[in-house]
Copies of this chain bind each other. A is one copy, B any other.
């Protein structure tokens, strides 16, 4: 089962990268938590970067698909609302949520790598598509913050024990949708 170990490496690595940061996490730590040696990791991944990139590429293609879809739609309130919903669904999925937390906390890691650069580009393009040339600056900011609210919903209320994660996500969505057409 070669895919099994490979996947475990990705999971453990992502977990540690989120917790401690990418640079601060050594391959030795990843290997130890997994109960293998460093050398074993090198059988599955060519370099340390490759572990992250293997995760980034999955996520990138999904965001690119979202951007392609968005560009095909008319720039209406309905389209924008649907984007927020689709984006929220992407964030929901366990693996993507974790990877986005990694991106938030490790913005500078591999910032010169094509895959990471492209990821940034796509995010900016998504935000850009939410507004039209004539829109005032406040509208642009509001719509950008709508997308961002979907992220923030997760970690903003991390001390909040009286609401479930579902409730928090729905509340974030409500705020985001409201921000879009204010």
A interface, CB within 8 angstroms of B: 18-24, 104-109, 124, 127, 136-138, 140-142, 144-145, 148-149, 152-153, 156-157, 159-160, 163, 167-168, 171-172, 174-175, 178-179, 182
Q: Determine which residue in A22, A106, A108, A157 has the highest number of CB atoms from chain B within 10 A of its CB, and name it.
A: A108
Give chain B residues whose Cβ lies under 8 Å from the Cβ of A144: 152, 156-157
User: Which applies to chain A's interface (DSSP): helix, strand, loop or mixed?
Assistant: helix
Q: How far is the CA of A73 from the CA of B137 in the complex (A)?
A: 32
15 contacts between A and B (CB under 8 A): A21-B21, A24-B109, A127-B156, A137-B167, A141-B153, A141-B156, A141-B157, A141-B168, A141-B171, A142-B175, A145-B152, A145-B156, A148-B152, A178-B182, A182-B182
Please name all residues of chain B whose beta carbon is closer than 8 Å to the beta carbon of A137 when the two chains form the complex: 157, 160, 163, 167-168, 171
Inter-chain contacts of A153 with B (CB < 8 A): 141
Number of copies: 2
Which of B19, B108, B136, B171 is close to A20, meaning CB atoms less than 8 Å apart? B108
Minimum CB–CB distance from A58 to chain B (whole Å) comes to: 23
Q: How far is the CB of A182 from chain B (nearest CB, A)?
A: 7
CA of A179 to CA of B172, assembled, Å: 13
Give Cα A178 to B152, complex, Å: 18
| A18, A22, A140, A159 pick with most chain B CB within 10 angstroms | A140
- Bound Cα distance A172, B141 (Å): 7
- Give 7 new A-B contacts, CB below 8 A, not counting A106-B108, A138-B174: A24-B109, A124-B159, A137-B171, A140-B160, A141-B152, A141-B156, A141-B175
